[in-house]
């Protein structure tokens, strides 16, 4: 195995850095939520966007999806699929946050487990930046093979 294409075009390297950044965020967020699903279900309920029947399922499913996205992004397996879900998730989060900020609800973000801070306009802005990073990875990521042979 040897290093290839370094130094070369900075775009695939930037995509790799974005992959790692997204993976770190998703892994941390996922693990925090897996620890206490009951509290996360309440955080989801507080957004007042989902019917009761979908709340627990989301609280169980979403953290594992985040962990799996993190693993995919780091391992370079199904990276584009992970980046696509990541982009859609961040878009959904930003929309949910914006709706509740407009509604004037003062609720916990729930972004990194139930102990996260209360929502403000920084949160949707952050999610939109992460959405852009995910789209960047989706388009420009070249996988590990670009760097190693």
Partner 1 sequence: MTQNNFSQKLYPAFRESIIILAVALFIAVVFNSFRSNNIPLFGFSSAALIKEQQAKIPSITLSEAHDLYLKNKVIFIDARDPFSFEEGHIAGAINIYPDEVLLHAASLKTKADQGFLFVTYCDGPQCPLSKETAHALILRGIPTVKVLVNGWSIWLKSGYPVSKGKK
Contact residues for partner 1 (CB under 8 A)?
34, 36-38, 41-42, 45-46, 52-53, 55-57, 59-61, 63-65, 67-69, 72, 78-85, 103-107, 118, 138-139
Instruction: For residues 74 and 72, give the distance between their C-alpha atoms in angstroms, rounded to a whole number.
Output: 6
DSSP letter at 36 equals: -
Nearer Cβ to partner 1, position 2 or 18? 18
Instruction: For residues 48 and 99, give the distance between their C-alpha atoms in angstroms, rounded to a whole number.
Output: 10
> Least distance from C-beta 108 to partner 1, angstroms?
11
> Least distance from C-beta 2 to partner 1, angstroms?
27
> Least distance from C-beta 15 to partner 1, angstroms?
12
CB distance 128 to 117 below 8 Å: no
Nearer Cβ to partner 1, position 76 or 124? 76
Dihedral sign for Cα atoms in the order 130, 136, 139, 143: negative
Closest CA to 57 of 70, 40, 71, 72: 40
Nearer Cβ to partner 1, position 1 or 54? 54
> Least distance from C-beta 62 to partner 1, angstroms?
8
């Amino acid at each position: 195995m040897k290093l290839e294409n370094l130094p070369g075009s900075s775009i695939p390297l930037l995509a790799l850095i974005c992959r790692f950044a997204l993976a770190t965020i998703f892994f941390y967020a996922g693990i925090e939520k897996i620890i206490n699903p009951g509290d996360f279900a309440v955080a989801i309920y507080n957004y007042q966007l989902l019917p009761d029947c979908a709340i627990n399922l989301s609280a169980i499913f979403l953290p594992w999806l985040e962990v799996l996205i993190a693993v995919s992004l780091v391992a370079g397996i199904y990276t584009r699929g992970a980046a696509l879900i990541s982009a859609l998730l961040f878009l959904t989060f930003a929309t949910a946050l914006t709706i509740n900020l407009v509604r004037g609800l003062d609720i916990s973000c729930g972004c990194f487990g139930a102990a996260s801070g209360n929502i403000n306009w920084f949160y949707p802005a952050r999610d939109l930046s992460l959405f852009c990073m995910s789209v960047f990875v989706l388009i420009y990521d070249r996988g590990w093979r670009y760097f190693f042979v």
